Amino acid sequence: MRKEYKKLVRDFIPEIIHQNGLNCGITTLTETEYQQALRQKLIEEAQEAAAANKQNLVTELADLYEVMDAIMVKYDISRELVIAEQLRRRKERGGFEKRIQLLWTE
């Protein structure tokens, strides 16, 4: 039974599918399609991490990091720049240590 995906997958996925005795269709994305697919993959992986149980959380976070790394390479953004921005925003707005939930504003 054929199942449609039309989503960005890791490089070895077609080989793994074939090793499992299945067939698949693939295409190579254009640069524009790739950029959009990476952003969609970021959302997909973030949702999977958010829904993960404690046992699978490390794996899902690793997948999320993989997509983030690919995005940073694509847009020529260094990890150091991202970490510097993270630290700047933490200094400016704080982190999440106090577990504050905003309920309302007026």
Nearest to 31 by CA among 74, 66, 68: 74
Q: How many CB atoms lie within 10 A of CB 37?
A: 19
The Cα–Cα gap between 40 and 51 comes to: 17
Q: What is the mean pLDDT of residues 5-9?
A: 95
Is residue 53 within 8 Å of residue 21, measured between CB atoms? no
Phi, psi of 44 (to 5 degrees): -60, -50
- One-letter amino acid for residue 43 of the chain: I
List, in sequence order, every beta strand (DSSP E) within 1-106: none
The Cα–Cα gap between 95 and 57 comes to: 20
Taking only the tens place, the pLDDT of each residue in 10-32 is 999 999 999 999 999 999 999 99
Number of H helices, E strands in the chain: 4, 0
pTM, 2 dp: 0.89
pLDDT at 1 over 90: no
